[in-house]
Structure 1
Amino acid sequence: MDWQLLFLSFGTIFLSELGDKSQLATLTLSGNSAAPRYVFIGSAAALLLASAIGVFLGDRISIFLPTQLLKAIASGLFAIMAMRLFMNDADT
């Protein structure tokens, strides 16, 4: 088992998920719910499924595209999203 990769992926995802909109939605849902454990189960299952899809797609796509190209595409998409966020803030 590659412990370094396990802890690296855990730490990266944990830190990136702190304070994001899915965590805020979970906070809101659990605050308005009489059964917060079901909110936890639902949100944990959703994150698990989204991560599984990402891992599966990443594994499949890496067969056809080199890792460096995948990183460049992901970086470009993040840059586009960031620019759109900045442009939307300037409009308001």
Structure 2
Amino acid sequence: MYFTLLFSTFVTVFLAELGDKTQLATVAISGTSNRPLAVFLGSSSALVLASLIGAVAGGSLSAVIPADWLQLVASTGFLVIGGRLLMPMLQAGLGSSQTED
């Protein structure tokens, strides 16, 4: 087993999921239920299934598209999403810093 890959994947996904909407939804569902074990089993099963689909899709795509291209597309997608999320904040900050004459 590739423990370095296992560890780096665990750390990356764990940090990405902290404060994620999935975690917030799990907290909300758990807060309205008196069965936290059922909520845990349901949410963890959903995460495992979603991760399995991602891993299978990534493995299938890498057989057709070179891994470097997949990483480039994924990183570009994240940059675009990040830019779109930052744009309203930057526009609001620029608009409030302008002074009237």
For 1:37 and 1:53, the matched residues in 2 are separated by 24
- Give unmatched runs, 5+ long, in structure 2: 93-101
For 1:33 and 1:44, the matched residues in 2 are separated by 16
Equivalent position of 1:32 in the other structure: 32
Q: Secondary structure at the match of 1:59?
A: helix
Deviation for aligned residue 1:88: 4.5
Q: Taking every aligned residue pair, what percent have the same amino acid on both sides?
A: 46
CA radius of gyration, larger in: 2
For 1:30 and 1:9, the matched residues in 2 are separated by 27
The one-character-per-residue Cα deviations of 1:24-69 (angstroms, maximum 9, x if unpaired) are 1111110111111111011000100010000000000001111110
Letter in 2 for 1:62: S
RMSD across aligned positions (CA): 1.3
For 1:15 and 1:34, the matched residues in 2 are separated by 27
Letter in 2 for 1:72: L
TM (normalized to structure 1)? 0.90
Tell me how many residue pairs correspond in the alignment.
Answer: 91
Equivalent position of 1:9 in the other structure: 9
Deviation for aligned residue 1:77: 0.9
Q: Secondary structure at the match of 2:86?
A: helix
For 1:40 and 1:32, the matched residues in 2 are separated by 13
